[in-house]
Amino acid sequence: MTHLKEISVAGGCFWGTEHYFKQVAGVVETEVGYANGHVENPTYEQVCTDLTGFAETVHVTYDPAVVSLGFLLQLYFKAIDPVSVNQQGHDKGSQYRTGIYYTDPGDLPAIEEVYSEEQKKYSQPLAVEKLPLDNFYSAEEYHQDYLDKNPSGYCHLPKSLFDFARSAKV
């Protein structure tokens, strides 16, 4: 049996980011929540105040025998504006910042490699955080699998990106 791995990514509103990653072969589970803030058990309303330090984040569990971390991160960069600070699409605020949060320090070389390749495409520095996952609190149930439950719900990502993720091959 393959040992599953995990990575957490912040890519703006977590509804679309979660739905995007759910399309990728090898992703076995996603969970939306709040990462790297300084309040215990925050609510969505608290996170939206911009005072908690949390980023809307998707915790991704994946099978490395099917999909590599490097490939997942390449897909991640296709779904974000990596030079935008505290904003993705129309969503503004520190909770919409971008970030890659790891639990295994052994993942850092793969993260650095993809990050470095992406940086070459831009003249300004990337605004994507690369940090250990200090804490993660699951978002309220109505946020989990939101776009599955509400197919016409708000999403900052174009629907074509979901099709792309579904057909993406390593």
Catalytic residue ranges: 13
Angle at 34 between CA 167 and CA 89, to 5 degrees: 55
Question: Structure tokens of 117?
Answer: 């390749």
Do 88 and 80 meet the contact criterion of CB atoms below 8 Å apart?
yes
- What burial class does residue 83 get, using C-beta atoms within 10 Å of its C-beta: 0-12 exposed, 13-18 middle, 19+ buried? middle
The CA-based diameter of the chain, rounded to the nearest angstrom, is 44
Kindly tell me the number of DSSP H helices and DSSP E strands found in the chain.
Answer: 6, 8
Do 66 and 106 meet the contact criterion of CB atoms below 8 Å apart?
no
DSSP string, 21-42: HHTSTTEEEEEEEEES-SSSS-
